[in-house]
Structure 1
Amino acid sequence: MSRHHSEGDGRRTYLHLEQDALESLGTASPVAVPRRVLFVCTGNTARSHLAAALWRQVSPIPAASAGTHPADQINPGTIDVATRRELELPIVEPRRVEDVLDPDDLVVTVCDRAHETPKVPGELHWSIPDPVDKGPEAFDTAYAELERRIKALAARFHPDEPPPTRKE
């Protein structure tokens, strides 16, 4: 287990249990299949876009990304790490949570600030440090942690059940 203070308000402490510890507790059982997974961070420029793209590689369940305070464009470091890892990353404008959120979404916040925003109904929170302005190594670290967590989460859904049809 590890712990760290929030990148948001700095007052909260987040604990992270290692996957091996969780599996030994018997928490790897399947869960209900959501219609879509929505990954949320603050600017919708890095972690949420990477998470949605990684999700699309391992699951037939649709994924989207959004931000609580979206920036103007995806961060160049995000595009760089996706290119180096051969990850298909759609280059789209960052979007606001309110414009994207569907009541049937499984919401995964991937940054502390988004998790600490009252308007984000995050069912899962992954405290992934912000790689923006910290160099390529920080993007590689965020990518690796997101990839690990996404593979573990995707494996929890019943593989024999197709995802529900999404209502438009």
Structure 2
Amino acid sequence: MAEVRSVDTAPPAFLRLAAHPLRWQLLSALADGDQRVRELVARIDQPQNLVSYHLRLLRNAGLVSATRSSYDGRDSYYHLDLDRCAEAFADSGAALHPALRRHAGPPDAPPASPSAGSVAVLFVCTGNGSRSPIAEALLRRRTSGAVTVASAGTRPKPALHPNTVRVLRESFGIDTCGLRPRHLDTLAGRRFDHVITLCDRAREACPEFPDNPRRTHWSIPDPATAEGTDDATYPAFRRTAADVDVRVRHLLPVLAATHRQEDPP
């Protein structure tokens, strides 16, 4: 008589966690960008204590993180770790059958990106000296210039922070010769498909733009506020650049989808 293999009937922890309707709504909402609890409460239309409870479960699982708002210290922004979600989905598939195990491609394989000149993106922070120009440079690099991309500040600095120049050069090989801080007002009237704020203060001050672009918020602390010499604060810039680069990589399929929707075959 053939031996019968025992089967673990319990679904993986990630599936049990994400399958809850309210938690799936929270994951879906945070996939659109970083949000505060009150925004999630309004979007999901559930009591704050219930939303907070399920957010805590997602945080404990490492799927969601929270950072204190630099605009209002009483608020926190919640962020979805898309890389961790991808790993959890892949591990769940492998638990069902080895054939569903994710096969990693080349480490630098580019995600889908839009066609040349098809999508316009604006990155906004307060000083336009670190976070938003880093995002501008990385998106331009990762799309080989196919996306129309700009950055600006609500209160721009006189020049890029020296560590912005250094981290783009040393970590990504990007020359910042053409990057200069500029005021958001200089872009008034320009059309953008996506406006992405990287600063909690800038999110509150960012004006409306023509044609109702998609608004997204990335709550990223300003590395320029770290105390010490440029050498001492450089690790903060490296962490910021790494965070921005992950978010830019996940932005590429969104931009490609924007292009397909606007220019159907």
| Correspondence 1:128 to 2:220 | yes
Matched, 1:17 2:70: no
Cα offset for 1:104? 3.0
Hey, what's the Cα distance between the residues in 2 that align with 1:78 and 1:49?
A: 8
What corresponds to 1:89 in structure 2?
Answer: 176
Q: What letter corresponds to residue 125 of structure 2 in structure 1?
A: C
Separation in 2 of the partners of 1:153 and 1:90?
A: 25
Partner AA of 1:76 in structure 2 = P
Q: Which of 100, 109, 112 pairs up with 2:187?
A: 100
Of 190, 193, 202, the residue aligned with 1:114 is 202
* CA deviation map 1:37-73 (0-9, x unaligned): 1000000000110100000011211111100011111
Whether 1:46 aligns to 2:130 is: yes
Map 1:69-80 → 2, pairs under 5 A: 69-80=155-166
SS where residue 66 of structure 2 aligns?
Answer: strand
CA drift of 1:125 comes to 0.4
Kindly name which structure, 1 or 2, has the bigger radius of gyration based on alpha carbons.
2
Is the 1:50–1:89 contact (alpha carbons within 8 Å) kept by the matching residues of 2?
A: no
Shift of 1:145: 0.5
Which digits, 9 at most, give the CA deviation of each residue in 1:5-55, with x for residues without a partner? Answer: 21122232100111043795xxxxx9x996311000000000110100000
TM-score, scaled to structure 2:
0.53
Corresponding residue for 1:27? none
**Do the aligned residues in 2 keep the contact of 1:66 with 1:96 (CA within 8 Å)?**
yes
Q: 1:118 to 1:81 in 2, by over 3 A?
A: closer
Question: In proportion to residue count, which structure has more helix?
Answer: 2
Q: Decide whether aligned partners of structure 1 residues 120 and 111 sit closer, same or farther in structure 2, where only a CA change above 3 A counts.
A: farther
Partner in structure 2 of residue 56 of structure 1:
140
Between the aligned partners of 1:116 and 1:10, the Cα distance in structure 2 is 14
Query: How many pairs are equivalent?
Result: 158
Relative CO higher for 1 or 2, CA cutoff 8 Å, sep ≥ 6? Answer: 1
The residue identity in structure 1 corresponding to 2:252 is: A
Task: Could you tell me which runs of 5 or more consecutive residues in structure 2 were left unpaired when the two chains were aligned.
Answer: 1-63, 90-111, 227-232
**CA–CA separation in structure 1 for the residues paired with 2:244 and 2:255:** 17
Supply the distance in 2 between the matched residues of 1:119 and 1:155 (Cα, whole angstroms). 26
Q: Is the 8 A contact 1:38 1:65 kept in 2?
A: yes
Q: Secondary structure at the match of 1:119?
A: coil
SS state at 1:48 partner? helix
Q: Given residue 149 of structure 1, which amino acid in structure 2 is its aligned partner?
A: R
Correspondence for 1:37 = 121
User: Percentage identity across aligned positions?
Assistant: 34
Separation (CA, whole Å) in 2 of partners of 1:54 and 1:64: 11
Runs of 4+ residues deviating >4 angstroms: none
